[in-house]
Amino acid sequence: MPTKLVILDRDGVINLDSAQFIKNPAEWKPIPGSLEAIARLTQSGYKVVVATNQSGVGRGLFDMEMLNQIHSNMHKAVVALGGRIDAIFYCPHAADSQCDCRKPKPGMLKRISETLNVELAGVPAIGDSLRDLQACAAVGCQPMLVMTGKGTKTKADNELPAGTLEFADLAAAVNHILAKEKK
């Protein structure tokens, strides 16, 4: 039985995405049902971890203090509904950097495994972009694509890793995870 852990991308999965980046707390808007879905995971005994590329930091569009404020707002919004985000891992590097933590490279997910001392085999990892799915597949997670954010375009490009499950949104993916657990 895999650890009761779910890994989520942020932009396009939990909150609305923006081609101009989410640069401050006012621009962070949850996707309807996403915060409630996180709360259901928490209440079912799951650890919820966010793994997010945040190249806006590396590009100078916002600083670490602003990123922390955005994440603080996200934490408070989830807690207000009875949920919890146990950890947030992020890559602050620009897209052209040679780091190993920017998805689709698996470095950030390996760091999650090491920090939490968990095996990631079979752990649900939910994203809306191909790079999210590639990173999670590289470490043995169960890739789950949501059609929010870039999800519809990602599906249309038809390059999904083998075994990727598809859902309308985070709430539908969580319904699947919780229903599977009851079997």
What domains are defined for the chain? 5-182 (3.40.50.1000)
User: Parallel, antiparallel, or unpaired: how do β-strands 47-53 and 142-146 relate?
Assistant: unpaired
Q: pLDDT band at 178, cuts 50/70/90?
A: very high
Angle made by CA atoms 22, 77, 71, in degrees to the nearest 5: 40
Decide if pLDDT at 23 tops 80: yes
What predicted TM-score, i.e. pTM, was given to this entire model?
A: 0.96
Asked whether the predicted pLDDT for residue 2 surpasses 70, the reply is: no
Beta-carbon contacts of residue 24 (< 8 Å; ≥ 6 apart) = 62, 66, 69, 70
Which residues carry out catalysis? 9, 11
> What's 102's DSSP letter?
S
Model confidence at 135, pLDDT cuts 50, 70, 90, reads very high
Output the 3-class SS for 25-84.
HHHCCECCCHHHHHHHHHHCCCEEEEEEECHHHHCCCCCHHHHHHHHHHHHHHHHCCCCC
Provide the pLDDT confidence category of residue 160 given band limits of 50, 70 and 90.
Answer: very high
